[in-house]
Amino acid sequence: MLVNPFEVDGKWYKANLHTHTTASDGQCDVEERVQQYREHGYGVLAITDHGIVSDATEYGTDDFLVLDGVELTVTPFEDGRFYHMLCVNTPSDLSFPGDLSPNFLIVHLRTQGAECFVAHPYWSGNTLPELLYLEGHIGIEVFNATCQSIGKGLSSVHWDNMLEAGVETPAIAVDDIHSAGNPMDLFGGWTMLKVNELSPEAVLKALRTGCYYASSGAEILEFRVEEGTARLRCEEAVEIHLMGSGWHGRSFYAGEGPPLTEASVQVDAEWKYVRAEIVDARGKRAWANPVFL
């Protein structure tokens, strides 16, 4: 069951959960990568190199949590297409018993304390039937900054299609940093976690329950559904979208008027769920996880 972060106590921590280093195809080592994010105001960083489990937790401090992770390519299709699975909190000695199907991989990782997200489904070309086949993951990437370099960083349609099909999944935003030389690559997407303490256990609980919102630069201040009304407050925006199943939704546009900072809409069971998305004057977005009705 998802937890609305705007309805629970805790502190917000900025997290990047998809990060590469020279251990695979990144352009700096773990120590430099950690320094970049620490100096930029982040509180949580997962090192997720391709096919190589990081051993980076030693770089964490009381006010900056580093999680070991890995990004795995799974190719179950005869035509060579693939899933990319983003795995966090992986043990550094993680091993795999032979060629794993994606669903067995997810189960195998969970037994060792790790959790999986579906990485950049738009960039990977994953169809809805392929996404519905996956079981046991705890979310998808709604935004991947690096994938914006080919215009496929935004996977909100994939997310909505999954929600429409009954998959109650939250969504994160990430950098997927490889090279700081790409202006879209570094600090381009992040996840705002709501936790009571900065520990692996608390962060994993927040990720499992969707106790966060995702952002590429915009900021959501409040999102609740009470007595049949969905209400949102945010920093200045030019668009606010409150979206439900199928044709259900309501959009608000600033146009030539003052920026938007709040919106509300009446909702009922026909909506099935309501999620929020905002766009600021720079084109930066933020996404609140769905509240199911």
Per residue in 7-38, pLDDT tens?
Answer: 999 999 999 999 999 999 888 999 999 999 99
> Last residue of some domain: 198, 215, 232?
215
Q: Which residues contact 127 (CB under 8 A, 6 or more apart)?
A: none
What pLDDT score does 26 carry? 86
Mean pLDDT, all residues of the chain? 94
Q: Assign residue 227 the CATH number of its domain.
A: 2.60.40
**Same-domain pairing of 198 and 90:** yes
> What pLDDT band is residue 77 in, cutting at 50, 70 and 90?
confident
Is the pTM for the entire model greater than 0.75? yes
Residue 293 lies in a domain: no
Asked whether residue 2 is domain-assigned, the answer is: no
What domain count does the chain have?
A: 2
b/e 260-284 (16+ beta carbons within 10 angstroms → b): beebbbebeeebbbbbbbbbbeeeb
Cβ-based neighbour number of residue 248 at 10 Å: 17
User: Which residue range is the domain that position 78 belongs to?
Assistant: 10-215
Of 150, 184, 215, which one is at a domain's C-terminal end? 215
Same domain, 126 and 269: no
Mean pLDDT of 144-148: 95
Based on the domain organization, do 18 and 34 belong to the same domain?
yes
In tens, the pLDDT along 211-241 reads 999 999 999 999 999 999 999 999 999 999 9
Residue 94, pLDDT above cutoff 90: no
- 174 plus 232 within the same structural domain: no
> At 174, which CATH number?
3.20.20.140
Q: What percent of the chain has pLDDT over 90?
A: 87
Statement: residue 98 has pLDDT above 70: no
- In the block, residue with structure tokens 């995702």: 214
| Confidence grade of residue 62 (pLDDT, cut at 50, 70, 90) | very high
**Per-residue burial over 30-55, b = 16 or more CB atoms within 10 Å of its CB, e = otherwise:** beebbebbbeeebbbbbbbbeeebbe
pLDDT value at position 183? 63
Co-location of 52 and 89 in the same domain: yes
Q: Percent of the chain at pLDDT above 70? A: 97
Chain centre distance of CA 285: 13
pLDDT digits (tens, 9 = 90+) for 169-203: 999 999 999 876 666 779 999 999 999 999 999 99
Strand ranges inside the chain, DSSP E: 11-16, 44-47, 65-74, 83-88, 115-118, 140-144, 171-174, 190-195, 212-215, 220-226, 229-237, 239-243, 249-253, 260-266, 273-279, 285-292
What is the pLDDT, as a whole number, of residue 92?
84
The domain boundary, picked from 215, 238, 272, lies at 215
CA quadruple 283, 284, 289, 293: dihedral positive or negative? negative
